[in-house]
Amino acid sequence: MANRRDRPKAHAPRPSNSFILYRREQHVIITTQYKGIKAMNNNIISKIVAHMWKLEDPSVKAKYAAKAEEEKRVHQMKYPDYKYCPRKTAAK
């Protein structure tokens, strides 16, 4: 079975928003600090980071918003024809 990384990319990825950029940085910090804890899976880390984000100072959020805008600008230059088209979910 082919790994996700082995498959060719059929479409451009979405640009990261401010929370995703924050989570990416905090994930590295948390996993480094709590290396010995086996139960520290991504679900737990996401909950921790989401709580941290809610308590974060607006100036920190603004810093990540600026990073997200820059990433969006670079993404627009790299993929000028990109249009976000979410998949429709099947009716349950």
Q: What is the mean pLDDT of each run of 10 residues along the chain (92 residues)?
A: 57 92 94 76 90 98 98 94 84 66
Residue 89 has which token pair?
């979910």
- The pTM assigned to this predicted structure is 0.76
Distance between CA atoms of 63 and 14, rounded to whole angstroms? 20
The full set of domain ranges for the chain reads 18-78
Confidence at residue 32, expressed as pLDDT on a 0 to 100 scale: 86
Alpha-carbon torsion (17, 82, 6, 3), positive or negative = positive
Confidence at residue 53, expressed as pLDDT on a 0 to 100 scale: 98
> Do the Cβ atoms of 16 and 71 come closer than 8 Å?
yes
Q: CATH: 3.30.420, 1.10.30, 1.10.3470, 1.25.40. Which one for 18-78?
A: 1.10.30
Confidence at residue 85, expressed as pLDDT on a 0 to 100 scale: 85
Confidence at residue 34, expressed as pLDDT on a 0 to 100 scale: 80
Distance between CA atoms of 63 and 41, rounded to whole angstroms? 27
